[in-house]
Amino acid sequence: MKPPVSKSVSSEGLPVGAEQSVVPAEPTNGSSPHQRFIPELISRRAEVAPNSPALVSATQALTYHELEVRANQLAHHLRFLGVGPETLVGLCLGRVPSMVVAALAILKAGGAYVPLEPDYPAERMRFMLEDARIPVLITRREISERIGSGRWKTVDLDRDAAQIARYPETTPVVAVSGQNLAYVIYTSGSTGHPKGVQITHQSSVSLPRACGIGWYRTGSPLVLCPLRWQRRSSRWIGRAKPPCVSY
């Protein structure tokens, strides 16, 4: 069942990774039969330049191979938990490299990520989780304890690290189309309650290409910039030099 959020085909949000974990399904609504989505794009770069820097922060750097392997293993775990196309997965990790790994893993599993800021009030985070009917939440213990329990399953990246590391390093095969959800961004909402805006795989790759951004073709790393989750892609385009991930 689709979550109760308003669908938008506008390219709003955050580009993350890429691979053939997500296999394009039969094209619909104008999707190109050769359309590559974010997971496949990262995987292809990992094949061509595995030792090139992919993700850089002030405290950590990951190569494309490392990013690919970590995302694949977490994606397999998410598949085990039932994540697939149109499954919304909560993502609440803060401004750390593991946030990018987890977002990519969700896409590789075929799901759509819903980012939550850890410094949101607990009531706001619980509202978003319940409003989107999220079945799985990726976070850490200190954040999970503040949110409290719910009907969602919690993936604690610290607690579950050993279990996740036992999964295959290869990409899970999941068929998605350009019209499947890639992520949902919650806005403040004119009524005072957060409202979710749905972004499809087609939209998530169309805007960077339309703007001439070649982050998906170059060997440049993904750079974590001191920005919050943005509802509009135009913000990260206007405020940071790509390739960049706002966090």
Give the residue extent of every domain in the chain. Answer: 6-246
Res 189: pLDDT: 63
Helix (H, G, I), strand (E, B) or coil at 104: helix
- Name the one residue in this structure whose structure tokens are 């339309």: 210
Contact 200, 101 (CB under 8 A): no
- Of 46 and 235, the structure prediction assigns the larger pLDDT to 46
CATH architecture of the domain formed by 6-246 = 3-Layer(aba) Sandwich (3.40)
Whole-prediction pTM value?
A: 0.74
156 burial via Cβ count (<10 Å: 0-12, 13-18, 19+): middle
Structure confidence at residue 177 (pLDDT)? 79
Choose among 2, 170, 145: nearest CA to 75. 170
Q: How confident is the model at residue 191 (pLDDT cuts 50, 70, 90)?
A: low
pLDDT by residue (tens digit) across 107-129? Answer: 999 999 999 999 989 999 999 99
**Residue 35 confidence (pLDDT):** 63
pLDDT cut 90: percent of the chain above it? 43
**pLDDT grade, residue 210 (50/70/90)?**
very low
Least confident of 57-61, 102-106, 202-206: 202-206
